[in-house]
Structure 1
Amino acid sequence: MKKYLILVWVGFLLFSCKKESTSGTENKIPREEISSVVSNQVDTVSGFSEAYLPISTTKQIVKHDYYTLSYNENFEQAEWVAYELKAEYVKNNDFKRPYFVQDPSVITGSADWRNYKKSGYDKGHLCPAADMEFDKRAYNDTFFTSNISPQKRDFNSGIWNRIEEKVRYWALRDRDIYVVTGGVLNDLDKKIGTEKVSVPKYFYKIVLSKSGKEYKAIAFLVPNEDSDKSIYDFVVPIESIEKMTGIDFFPNLKNLKSSQSF
């Protein structure tokens, strides 16, 4: 009887420790006009994977639970921040805003928030805190200084905020979208603080939506200035932003083109 019980116990342990493994491949697809149906597969599961990340020109990619960034030490900010935004993420939990803190995952050290003090510029979120209000930790993670960039106050609370609100609307409509955003970084940009944080003259936001095998995208390039114009006045081809930044945004989606018909 004891021998039988021992065999059962060992069998239970072996079963409990068994792990499942999955594997998959990402196929490059031909890029077509945004309203067209993409015929080749990129992945067969719902949602977005790391295959949608842009190329990092700095090789310093930092992954947080709900967003990923590529940090550029020369400009003391991220060259891009990328994240998935699901419909269920769009909530208003009215969390208490935490203090901005340096990102411990940035090996070279992210800029101190004090660089912004008395600079006249907002600590502008790249991944908006409002996009992460479904979870307190996700919300707090948006207050790492690796996720901010100097923005003029009227820009931050005006045209940029209107685009962010539209992005959340698209997440609710399409159930699941992918967002890439950042400033266009240039050596000639104005600098603030003792760490010489660059002030981008332009900010971009690219939104990708997927339904089955069908893709559509829209890209915005907006001056760091107040504007009363429609957000659609700032729609540009993704290729235009790629030329300005040197970043390949969707290397696994060949010939993807953006459009106003999002």
Structure 2
Amino acid sequence: MKKCLTILIFFFWMLLQLACREQSNFTQEEKDVQVEVSEEFIAWKAEDFFPTSTTNQIIHHNYYTLSYHEEHEQAEWVAYQLQPNSSSTTDFKRPYFVEDPKVQTASADWRNYRNSGYDKGHLCPAGDMKFSKQAYDDTFYTSNISPQKPDFNAGVWNRLEQKVRYWADKYDGLFVVTGGVLEPNLKTIGKEEVSVPNSFYKVLLRNTGDKLRAIAFLVPHENSEQPLYSFVVSIDELEKRTGIDFFHQLPDDVEKKIEESKDYKEWSFK
């Protein structure tokens, strides 16, 4: 009797172990699926989102990358990751603007801006790079500036930059592409004829955990009190204006979906 009871207990113990092992395997399979999805959408490598270059002169700095346009003497785009809390309250001493040693054709001298009536407008803002002195100082290369009207630079453009920092904190980081729209027959300043864009853009990409969302702003080069959502355009429209393909490395179906949307609410409230 005792022998039969012992065998019965052992049998039920084996069944229990087998059930636990199957449950454990099932849970691990679920985790594996989650990791696979996560790796597809959450792996955050800036180089996966770089736009195309119309000039084939791409310059990599430690914390941002740009495509330099020699004809216009400025970057056609500057791209970087904006991490949450990157714009700390640290106050670094502002360095002088200097030419970018990595630009083979030489970036414009800052003296082109002297007495021009235009600010040296950062494309990658110094305020986005306050997490280290080197990152901050690197934004003062002349390859990273464009002529901007003072009231535009301190007005609507600054409002947009502040909003981008807010979103970076809210959404745990963003990928940012920004620049002036470089077109033929633009006004120029200085001996090197630095082009003055008629409008500036920002393209933002964020990760929601299961998909990517993007939004684009195209802002005329003049101060405005209009709400920021009034400057939202589709990335498709911006690509037609600039000749730049922004997210060409994404799968076609993903690229198509995010580039045709211009829904501010979809971006801001989800």
TM-score, normalising length: structure 2: 0.80
Q: Is the 8 A contact 1:85 1:131 kept in 2?
A: yes
In structure 1, C-alpha distance between the alignment counterparts of 2:77 and 2:46, rounded to whole Å: 16
Question: Does residue 130 of structure 2 align to residue 133 of structure 1?
Answer: yes
Question: Does residue 199 of structure 2 align to residue 202 of structure 1?
Answer: yes
Q: How does 1:101-116 map to 2 (within 5 A)?
A: 101-116=98-113
- Greater relative contact order (Cα 8 A, min sep 6): structure 1 or 2? 1
Query: Please, which of 182, 186, 201 is the counterpart of residue 185 of structure 1?
Result: 182
Question: Does residue 109 of structure 2 align to residue 124 of structure 1?
Answer: no
Shift of 1:49: 2.9
Shift of 1:214: 1.0
In structure 1, C-alpha distance between the alignment counterparts of 2:38 and 2:178, rounded to whole Å: 25
Question: Does residue 241 of structure 2 align to residue 260 of structure 1?
Answer: no
* Deviant stretches of 4+, over 6 Å: 39-42
Shift of 1:218: 1.1
Shift of 1:43: 3.6
Residue 169 of structure 1 corresponds to which residue in structure 2?
A: 166
Query: Please, which of 225, 231, 243 is the counterpart of residue 240 of structure 2?
Result: 243
In structure 2, C-alpha distance between the alignment counterparts of 1:89 and 1:201, rounded to whole Å: 29
In structure 1, C-alpha distance between the alignment counterparts of 2:42 and 2:119, rounded to whole Å: 39
Shift of 1:252: 2.0
Gaps of at least 5 residues in structure 2 are 1-35
User: Could you say what the CA RMSD is over the residues aligned between the two structures, in angstroms?
Assistant: 1.6
Question: Does residue 219 of structure 2 align to residue 218 of structure 1?
Answer: no
Shift of 1:217: 1.1
Residue 60 of structure 2 corresponds to which residue in structure 1?
A: 63
Q: Aligned pair in 2 of structure 1 residues 157, 200: CA closer, same or farther (>3 Å)?
A: same
Q: Which residue identity lines up with residue 104 of structure 2 in the other structure?
A: I
Query: Please, which of 153, 156, 162 is the counterpart of residue 156 of structure 1?
Result: 153
Q: Greater Rg, structure 1 or structure 2? A: 2
Deviations 1:167-197 (A, max 9, x none): 0000100111100000000121001000000
Shift of 1:89: 1.6
Residue 227 of structure 2 corresponds to which residue in structure 1?
A: 230
In structure 1, C-alpha distance between the alignment counterparts of 2:211 and 2:41, rounded to whole Å: 12
Aligned residues: 224
Shift of 1:93: 0.6
Deviations 1:119-143 (A, max 9, x none): 0000000000000001000000000
Three-state SS of the structure 2 residue aligned to 1:84 is: strand
Shift of 1:44: 5.6
TM-score, normalising length: structure 1: 0.82
Three-state SS of the structure 2 residue aligned to 1:212 is: coil
Q: Aligned pair in 2 of structure 1 residues 252, 195: CA closer, same or farther (>3 Å)?
A: same
Deviations 1:65-84 (A, max 9, x none): 00000000000000000000
In structure 2, C-alpha distance between the alignment counterparts of 1:44 and 1:172, rounded to whole Å: 19
Q: Is the 8 A contact 1:122 1:156 kept in 2?
A: yes
Q: Is the 8 A contact 2:77 2:177 kept in 1?
A: yes
Three-state SS of the structure 2 residue aligned to 1:118 is: coil
Q: Is the 8 A contact 1:90 1:172 kept in 2?
A: no
Greater per-residue helix proportion:
2
Shift of 1:42: 7.4
Three-state SS of the structure 1 residue aligned to 2:205 is: strand
Q: Is the 8 A contact 1:47 1:176 kept in 2?
A: no
